[in-house]
Amino acid sequence: MESLIADVVPAKESGGFTSHCVHLEAGPSQFTVRALKMQGSTMLIINPKGTEVFEELAVSMPSRNSNSGESVSSTILGGHGQTDSSVLAGKLSKRYCRQFYVSLNLKLDRLVGPLFEKSLVTYMQDHLEHFA
């Protein structure tokens, strides 16, 4: 099932920062993505549509060894060990070769999780200027 863009809030710039907000769908679920693009890093706060929470936060950055293609991630706030936020931050950091802060506040199961990720990555690829 393809994701649909429900609503886009125009990006705002202030002192080298760019903010962007979009409402996306993944299967039966709707979610809100808030992005703050900074010099060298991006922060994503992802919530169910209509709910604003900040339950966990993770950071990931590309490895210093550019040949490895890996990223290093850590949970800053919330869960212990490898959280959904840290996994997503690691994937995005590896894909876009930049630091990502991610607060993923969704309860994803094995069916909705891949739909959510595909919807997010597709939107990011189509609107890369807001994320990288």
Assess contact for 78 and 48: CB atoms under 8 A.
Answer: no
Using one digit for the tens of pLDDT, what is the confidence trace for 42-94?
999 999 999 999 999 999 998 877 666 678 888 888 877 788 999 999 999 99
Residue 15 pLDDT: 65
Domain with 113 in it: 5-130
E strand intervals along 39-123: 41-48, 57-62, 71-77, 99-104
pTM metric for this prediction:
0.84
Assess contact for 103 and 86: CB atoms under 8 A.
Answer: no
The CA-atom distances, in angstroms, between 94 and each of 13, 52, 56, 119 are: 26, 27, 20, 18
What is the CB neighbour count within 10 angstroms for residue 37? 21
Mean pLDDT of 11-33: 84
Q: How far apart are CA 78 and CA 36, in angstroms?
A: 20
Q: How far apart are CA 37 and CA 40, in angstroms?
A: 8
**Of residues 83, 61, 86, 59, the one with CA closest to residue 71:** 61
Number of domains observed in the structure of the chain: 1
Residue 127 pLDDT: 96
Using one digit for the tens of pLDDT, what is the confidence trace for 83-123?
899 999 999 999 999 999 999 999 888 888 899 999 999 99
Q: How far apart are CA 25 and CA 82, in angstroms?
A: 25
* CATH, residue 117: 3.30.230.100
Residue 27 pLDDT: 83
Assess contact for 73 and 89: CB atoms under 8 A.
Answer: yes
Per-residue pLDDT at 9 exceeds 60: no
